A and B are shown apart, each in its own frame.
Chain A
Amino acid sequence: MIDQLSWKVGGQQGEGIESTGEIFSTALNRLGYYLYGYRHFSSRIKGGHTNNKIRVSTKPINAVSDDLDILVAFDQETIDVNYHELRSGGVVIADAKFNPSIPEDGKATLYEVPFTETAKELGTPLMKNMVAVGASSAILGIPADYYQEVVEEIFSKKGQSVVDKNMQALQTGAEQFREQAGDNVDAFLLEEADGKKRMFMIGNDAIGLGAVTAGSRFMAAYPITPASEIMEYLIKTFPDFGGTVIQTEDEIAAANMAIGSNYAGVRALTASAGPGLSLMTEAIGLSGMTETPLVIVDTQRGGPSTGLPTKQEQSDMMAMLYGTHGEIPKIVIAPSTVQEAFYDTITAFNMAEEYQCPVILMSDLALSLGKQTVEPLNFDNVQIRRGKLDQAPDLPVQAPEEYFNRYEYEAEGDGISTRLLPGTENGIYHVTGVEHDETGKPSEKPENRQQQMDKRLKKTQTVPYRFDEPVYRDEPYEKADLLVVGINSTRGTIQEAVSRLREEGHAIHHAHIRLLHPFPVEELEQALERTEKVVVVENNATAQLANIIRLNTGVNAENILKYDGNPFLPGEIYRECKELL
């Protein structure tokens, strides 16, 4: 019996690869296994190789694995492209239809199961994915009837006979595999899991759920990979709470609409990827200048320009920090797990209102689309904090020329002023992206200009102290030989590489940047003091994170960079770190 394994299904995009992975993993999740799934897809809708790699374990896991135990292939290309990942002793289960062949290196065993043929005989070739799921489950020793619940949920709308047919396909797949393999294959029998119910979700789901939980009720967005799931989730969820999503004509409209909505008192967000972020830059400045809360999610993908739209990268960091003209207060938060994506989304909404400035929730494709098992989310700790928003102010009767001091300047204050919502009686003030006085009316007076600039820019100084865990730090040694620093989705991968190095006796620390801006200088400096060497792991070509660290701490780090479109594998980080030791 084993406690973990890696399984991958591949084929042409549009032939049910996704649903094969979905059904397989959902059932395993219900049994209490921990899962981590990563989809490799191309930007074509139909055609093009796609695969879904799922790691299954009885213990928590946060990364894809280096190698593969089981490959399920719907075409020869899947074998050709992925065979090298199989570990020695691995298994290929392929559709007999295409006369599959594997290299004669003796590394793996091939089982041919007639996925398509069986499905056709049972009624429709569409069910070939169920045959494949059945075969896959047989090898793990998971009885086919454990799928009943999942299959019913998916197909019950289409009637009982469709449910039955699909279950039959699943069972037949399992039998066919067993007939072929006999008793030979027991190397992949999975230990039983704890049977506990846990959430199984992608980062984008967690961001969507976080937004609703934070009290957001409006989103304006334009579709883009890999952000669209946030919008799709909220489109189906907001109506229950009186809210809605507008699919705008572009991201410029989306960001400005979200600003308008926040100004009028609704926690609104927009979400996009690099190209959309580029279009939003002027609006980000407007939010900063007018001190209007705004939450933007940037799910990074391969850039520049249209780049690699369906691939992993972390190359928008500089754009997030500096991508608007002039100087504004801004907060950039970088969750590194699905759980954190949920909590950080709530923090983003709270901080946008508390600091009255734009907040960018930074994600990356692997975090946004990677599907993970999530430990229960703690609702009792959820707080809604709206800062200096006053919704029921007691104001003196206002003469038409007396505007409310929305941008009150206090030399000794924290720079944050009382915010009233339009519609408030006796609270009229003006808002403009032009430099303005305390009432919001345009003013070019030099003294006022400096005061308002100082007021705005000092607001976010306290963020690194108020942010819960601005740097995740795993530092078990007095002094480390190497500190590995990462951001966003590389958390689990680094963790795995680090634990292998530790097992070999190396003193390795791991820090993950959770608040990118304002940069938690002191927090990271503490970690830097306790290591001989630092290496920054990031998915880009120009070492953006390492540069930000140098800018803030003066420390020059070593770099591990990857920008071929794929997420890091634990082994890659392990090997490169080893070279530095």
Chain B
Amino acid sequence: MATVKDFRNKVKPNWCPGCGDFSIQAAIQRAAANVGLEPHDLALITGIGCSGRISGYINAYGFHGVHGRVLPLAQGVKMANRDLTVIASGGDGDGFAIGMGHTIHSIRRNINMTYIIMDNQIYGLTKGQTSPRSEAGFKTKSTPDGSIEASLNAMETALTAGATFVAQSFSSDLKELTSLIEQGINHDGFSIINVFSPCVTFNKVNTYDWFKENLTKLETVEDYDYTDRKKAMQTLMEHNGLVTGLIYQDDSKPSYQDQIPGYKSTPLSESELKLEKETFERLANEFM
């Protein structure tokens, strides 16, 4: 059985020292080992950003696509080979700006895969512009007088879109994060996990200390019930979205792939491509 070591490929990440993304890398490696994956069973599909580079830093099949399109790419992989464990990941700009449409529709579609957003509330790779996750008033290179757009309530949006698994974590909390990724992988459907991952270089507001002060763990919220959608929504609103833990899970909904008429239970990639002659003739006859 593979251990966490087997998921390390010895490539030195080009992230800034102290970047929150390092812990997300570690958490994915641990979670993959903990759920019993072999490196070749895992496909890590990523977007473009500092975050997206993670596909090259974990020993697994990695595909680093184009900006904002990680989810369609990852869903295509899963549709082709349902035996692969597919994790998609990318930045907050990737998933909530350019790729927002795909995020909502992937949630609705509910294909069995896990989506991890490495949320630093800023554009890291392009050197510090505002993101849909930046707070109103946030000053960046692109908003020198402070952002005048409202910040996106990501987890509320996910709930509204019909997500069957919604979680949020903080990159410093390796234990919670690892456990949530494991739960996400094991969830039969689309799991969205937003991870606060401080950008130490460009975001001087939402720092490690800031998060420590402002985040509330859901396990400390009295009577919190992650199967209660209304309660989940209410709690998110009360805490301005700054909670961590499993926010919501609905086990009862079948995943997309389990509902497709005729869809193979074995990987589609293992199909015999050539038709039988009789089969072809039957298809051709439909046009006569």
In this complex, the member of B10, B11, B72, B271 whose beta carbon has the largest number of chain A beta carbons within 10 angstroms is B72
Interface residues of A in 1-58 (CB under 8 A from B): 29-30
Contact of B281 among A259, A282, A379, A421 (CB under 8 A): A379
Decide yes or no whether A217 CB sits under 8 A from chain B: yes
Q: Which residues of chain A are within 8 angstroms of B74 by Cβ–Cβ distance? A: 260
Decide if B40 touches A283 in the complex (CB within 8 Å). no
Cβ proximity bits A203-226 to B, threshold 8 Å, 1 near / 0 not: 001000100111101101000000
Q: Which residues of chain A are within 8 angstroms of B5 by Cβ–Cβ distance? A: 400
Decide yes or no whether A197 CB sits under 8 A from chain B: yes
CA distance A81 to B279 in the complex (A): 45
Q: Looking across the interface, which residue of chain B has its beta carbon closest to that of A386?
A: B273
Decide yes or no whether B219 CB sits under 8 A from chain A: no
Q: Which residues of chain A are within 8 angstroms of B75 by Cβ–Cβ distance? A: 246, 257, 260
Q: How far is the CB of B279 from the nearest CB of chain A, in Å?
A: 8
In this complex, the member of A209, A241, A262, A282 whose beta carbon has the largest number of chain B beta carbons within 10 angstroms is A241
Decide if B72 touches A265 in the complex (CB within 8 Å). no
Decide if A263 touches B8 in the complex (CB within 8 Å). no
Given known contacts A423-B40, A426-B40, A428-B59, is B284 in contact with A260 (CB within 8 Å)?
no
Q: Which residues of chain A are within 8 angstroms of B260 by Cβ–Cβ distance? A: 239, 244
Cβ proximity bits A239-277 to B, threshold 8 Å, 1 near / 0 not: 111111010111011111111111111111000000000
Decide yes or no whether B186 CB sits under 8 A from chain A: no
Decide if A384 touches B274 in the complex (CB within 8 Å). yes
Decide if A220 touches B101 in the complex (CB within 8 Å). no
Decide yes or no whether B146 CB sits under 8 A from chain A: no
Contact of B84 among A264, A376, A430 (CB under 8 A): A264
Decide if A421 touches B269 in the complex (CB within 8 Å). yes
Decide yes or no whether B170 CB sits under 8 A from chain A: no
Decide yes or no whether B73 CB sits under 8 A from chain A: yes
Decide if B76 touches A256 in the complex (CB within 8 Å). yes
Decide yes or no whether A185 CB sits under 8 A from chain B: no
Decide yes or no whether B63 CB sits under 8 A from chain A: yes
Q: How far is the CB of B19 from the nearest CB of chain A, in Å?
A: 17
CA distance A43 to B275 in the complex (A): 37
CA distance A256 to B78 in the complex (A): 13
In this complex, the member of B10, B75, B273 whose beta carbon has the largest number of chain A beta carbons within 10 angstroms is B273
Given known contacts A213-B280, A220-B72, is B105 in contact with A265 (CB within 8 Å)?
no
Decide yes or no whether A295 CB sits under 8 A from chain B: no
Q: How far is the CB of A419 from the nearest CB of chain B, in Å?
A: 12
Decide yes or no whether B102 CB sits under 8 A from chain A: yes
Contact stretch, chosen from A133-141, A302-310, A431-439? A431-439
Q: How far is the CB of B37 from the nearest CB of chain A, in Å?
A: 11
Decide if B263 touches A244 in the complex (CB within 8 Å). yes
Q: Looking across the interface, which residue of chain A has its beta carbon closest to that of B98?
A: A252
Q: Which residues of chain B are within 8 angstroms of A423 by Cβ–Cβ distance? A: 40-41, 43, 61, 81, 83-84, 267, 269
- In the complex, 18 of the A-B residue pairs with CB atoms within 8 angstroms, ordered by the A residue number, are A197-B288, A218-B79, A238-B262, A243-B263, A260-B74, A266-B79, A266-B81, A266-B271, A379-B277, A400-B6, A400-B7, A400-B59, A421-B269, A422-B43, A423-B81, A428-B39, A428-B61, A433-B64
What is A's interface to B at a CB cutoff of 8 Å?
Answer: 29-30, 197-201, 205, 209, 212-215, 217-218, 220, 237-244, 246, 248-250, 252-268, 282-283, 285-286, 290, 374, 376-377, 379-380, 382, 384, 400-401, 403, 421-434, 440-442
Known: A253-B71, A382-B274, A400-B10. 14 other contacts (CB 8 A): A215-B274, A220-B72, A246-B109, A248-B72, A250-B101, A260-B76, A264-B76, A282-B69, A374-B287, A376-B284, A422-B40, A422-B43, A423-B61, A430-B62
What is B's interface to A at a CB cutoff of 8 Å?
Answer: 5-11, 38-41, 43, 45, 48, 53, 55-56, 59-66, 69, 71-81, 83-84, 101-102, 104-105, 109, 260-264, 267-275, 277, 280-281, 283-284, 287-288
Instruction: Give 9 nearest A-B pairs by CB, closest first.
Output: A260-B76, A215-B273, A239-B262, A265-B269, A242-B264, A264-B80, A422-B61, A432-B64, A257-B76
